[in-house]
Structure 1
Amino acid sequence: MDTPTEVSAPAAGTPDLTDPRFWQLPAPARAAAFAELRRRPAPVYFGDRATGRGFHALVRHADVVEASRNPAVFRSAPGVTTPEPARWVRLLFGDSMVNLDDPRHAQLRRIVSRAFTPRLLGRVEEDIRHVCTALVDAVERDRPEDFVRSVAAQLPFQVICTMMGIPEQPRRTILDLVDRNSADVGVARPLRRRLRVPGRGLAALARMQGIVAAVGRERRRRPAEDLISALVAADVDGRRLTGRELGAFFSLLLVAGVETTRNALAHGLHLLTVHPEQRALLLADLDGRLPGAVDEMVRHATPIVQFRRTVAVDHELGGPGGPLLRAGEKVTLYYGSANRDEAVFPDPEAFDITRTPNPHLGYGGGGPHYCLGAHLARQEMTALFRELFTRLPGARSVGEPVLVPSSFDHRVRSLGFTF
């Protein structure tokens, strides 16, 4: 019988991934730290393993994929974010799908999937084109200076609201609430803000869910051709979404769909600006190169930095003789590190739109929690860059992006641009 490998503690001089100051380091310093962790023979445990207050850092591509695709061992409940949602919050607002395991997760996912009919998806594709055209019209007309506020944040938000069937009137309020709800996730904050922000975020979440619940009640009485109507009518094995589940799904779609896509778009424009040879390749064959360019933007930027899982049973990672993970322990899946794994991506720090294959984990590592919105995000990014570079081929970023130091996502607060 193979003897399990011992999990190691951080070596002297290894940056502490639990320290907020680590996430304020320059990107090359953080990349070097993760490269060193990938060279270790076993995942490093950060924290006190004796008390269970810590986690195994999964930094290799293969380890993140294994944890993603083995839900019997690596459980999402009680939560994949840090800190985990409090029980009273989950009871009040409903469980997000990302924090659920089967069979409940599979049941909700089937209901949602049933609502995405071919007719609805066809309208979404048309809506994306219309929104992209309107956004580039506004760029030409108004010459805004911030790409994030004027373009990157607007595209996924307007597409999701139109797809869901949210009326125009509350959209400005909802966008403010999304920003408020997600502004400080994974961010080091002064104590006074740490004490106040969680309540503000929950109030924002409550208002968002109140708005969509009202729309859901209206659609039950008078259905329309939108996703909310389909969700409140979808019936799988006699089961439909409750009002609370509808609100939780809408919040997930907005916070996850808007934040991740807006950050990928902003990073993408900047990457094409600081890599002019890649930009020239793209503009020489826009339709042919765009799919590969979008995937490479997502790999290189990795909008979501990490999610957590809880180990359900003792498990040897990678098979017999692998590192022993004990039941009840936490593992953190570092997608950004996995997307730089030298064993999978030659010259991983390079931005290369011709990279093939490109098995990046920007939408998760597969398995039951693979991102429901991956196809939508690709559609949005492809359509936006096609419209932008067809009409304004000189569009480029100005200066460095203003980033928000965060252990959760690769967030861009603002990005100057011009054409």
Structure 2
Amino acid sequence: MTVPAQRHPSDTDLADPAFWQLPPEARIAAFARLRALDGPRRFVERPASWRRPERAHWALVRHADVQEASRLPKVFASAPGVTTPEPARWVRALFGDSMVNLDGPDHAQLRKIVQRAFTPRLLAAAEADVHAVAARIVDDVLAERPAEFVSAVSSRLPLDVICNMMGIPEEYRSEIADRVNHASENIGVERGLTARLRMPGRGLRALARMQRMVAGIAEERRRAPGDDLISALVTANVDGQALGVRQLGAFFSLLMVAGVETTRNAITHGLALLTDHPDQRALLLGDFEKYADGAVDEMVRHSTPIIQFRRTVVAEHTLGGHLFTPGDKVVLYYASANRDEAVFPDPDAFDITRSPNPHLGFGGGGPHFCLGAHLARVEMKALFRELLSRPVGLRAVGLPELAGSNFDNRVRSLRFAFDT
């Protein structure tokens, strides 16, 4: 059955780039209106023309619907891609398929190899390293008193931790940080014609350079393995398979862009939230060990670092009162699901005592649940312990500068200061 595209006011049209330039409060209110409707709504991303077919998606905005779709990969497939728009075929052929864009046996085998490489010894060393890196960063901040939080603090922690875990030599790290920024700075952001023509190539060049770099390191580790993750991945033997060069490159790109960007954004939003809610900050300061886990989960829920992921329907299924048919495109809006009134009382409040807190900030479950969820929680907890335990009264100044993206809740910059 063909369903005609439904038109919406500009402030609730999720396919209109102007929607993602609205203030956060306006977008939150628009999602609340969509959740109150009788079922999913369809949004036209590109009208049909004589040269190109229409491109549209169904928006899943309720917690229950997003969670159910996440746990039914045989109906709601990640392939050919979870981003909007989907990656071009030539990009996938050149760079390899990222784990997030795979389904079924291909995804299961790749995830199995990666999980096998995360040995208890490697994970224990990574957790110990997180605390050392967090302390060093805060020591540097107190000594140098920088004014911008993202570059000085929140982007440094996940980058250093992942590079240490992967075994990336120090001399490569500044270049990798630059490549990560180039590769991800415009994901989901509406740009003018000149930037649209230029920036995709710039981002792909950044990914290509990162992959060439890690391929060179991988060859060295095959000859002389160490105790790092790259060594474990290239020497793994799971059912006779290890990661090939393209698979390793795709995994490294995913780990750097997803692992660094999402954690840095959650940390940055976290500082802004604690500044805007002094009562919650005081509660956390009063008994950090009691409230830290809840604070981290509430920061992730409230900020939702990844706004949405795309799925392609491959089997007929009824969800949220709507019959989906093969070929339909569906977008899981985690940012809306994490404010669903049916699950979270007073959803717009920032409450570190919220319990239960079944947020979908790391995905809705199923085979694509975030591999790095535990590490991200450890990083955030370690950094905020260091930031809040020092007697300097560190706080955000002004509002975060957001990227205006429909993909991730990215913070470009956040000014901060010290009370003493």
**TM-score computed with the length of structure 2 as normaliser:** 0.96
What does the per-residue CA deviation read over 1:193-231, in whole Å, with 9 as the maximum and x for residues that have no partner?
A: 110001111110000001100110000000000000000
What does the per-residue CA deviation read over 1:171-206, in whole Å, with 9 as the maximum and x for residues that have no partner?
A: 000100000000100001111011000111111000
Structure 1 regions of 5+ residues with no counterpart? none
Amino acid paired to 1:59:
V
1:380 to 1:12, Cα distance in 2 relative to 1, 3 A: closer
The corresponding residue for 2:175 is 173
Secondary structure of 1:383 counterpart: helix
Amino acid paired to 1:383:
A
TM alignment of 1:224-235, pairs within 5 A? 224-235=226-237
**TM-score computed with the length of structure 1 as normaliser:** 0.96
Considering only aligned residues, what root-mean-square deviation do their CA atoms show, in Å?
Answer: 1.5
Secondary structure of 2:137 counterpart: helix
Q: Quick one: distance in 2 between partners of 1:114 and 1:49? A: 45
TM alignment of 1:8-27, pairs within 5 A? 9-11=6-8, 15-27=12-24
Residue 364 (1) aligns with residue 366 (2): no
Measured after TM superposition, the shift of residue 334 of structure 1 is 0.3
What does the per-residue CA deviation read over 1:37-75, in whole Å, with 9 as the maximum and x for residues that have no partner?
A: 001111000128995520000000000001100000000
Q: Quick one: distance in 2 between partners of 1:67 and 1:235? A: 32
Q: Quick one: distance in 2 between partners of 1:238 and 1:359? A: 38
The corresponding residue for 1:29 is 26
* 8 Å Cα contact 1:10-1:44 kept in structure 2: no
Amino acid paired to 1:208:
M
* 8 Å Cα contact 1:306-1:333 kept in structure 2: yes
Q: Quick one: distance in 2 between partners of 1:407 and 1:11? A: 17
The corresponding residue for 1:271 is 273
TM alignment of 1:308-347, pairs within 5 A? 308-318=310-320, 322-347=321-346
Amino acid paired to 1:28:
E
Q: Quick one: distance in 2 between partners of 1:55 and 1:398? A: 38
Task: Name which of structure 1's ranges 387-396 and 153-162 shifts more when overlaid on structure 2.
Answer: 387-396
Measured after TM superposition, the shift of residue 9 of structure 1 is 2.7
Q: Quick one: distance in 2 between partners of 1:43 and 1:123? A: 45
Aligned equivalent of 1:251, options 230, 250, 253: 253
The corresponding residue for 1:390 is 389
1:136 to 1:314, Cα distance in 2 relative to 1, 3 A: same
Q: Quick one: distance in 2 between partners of 1:31 and 1:93? A: 36
Task: Name which of structure 1's ranges 82-91 and 370-379 shifts more when overlaid on structure 2.
Answer: 82-91
Structure 2 regions of 5+ residues with no counterpart? none
What does the per-residue CA deviation read over 1:1-40, in whole Å, with 9 as the maximum and x for residues that have no partner?
A: xxx9x89834556621111110010111111110000011
Q: Quick one: distance in 2 between partners of 1:126 and 1:267? A: 25
TM alignment of 1:85-124, pairs within 5 A? 85-124=87-126
In the comparison of the two structures, how many residue pairs are matched? Answer: 412
How many percent of aligned residue pairs carry the same amino acid?
65
* 8 Å Cα contact 1:8-1:43 kept in structure 2: no
* 8 Å Cα contact 2:12-2:31 kept in structure 1: no
Q: Quick one: distance in 1 between partners of 2:98 and 2:9? A: 38
Residue 128 (1) aligns with residue 130 (2): yes
Residue 156 (1) aligns with residue 168 (2): no
Measured after TM superposition, the shift of residue 313 of structure 1 is 1.4
The corresponding residue for 1:293 is 295
Amino acid paired to 1:276:
P
* 8 Å Cα contact 2:10-2:18 kept in structure 1: no
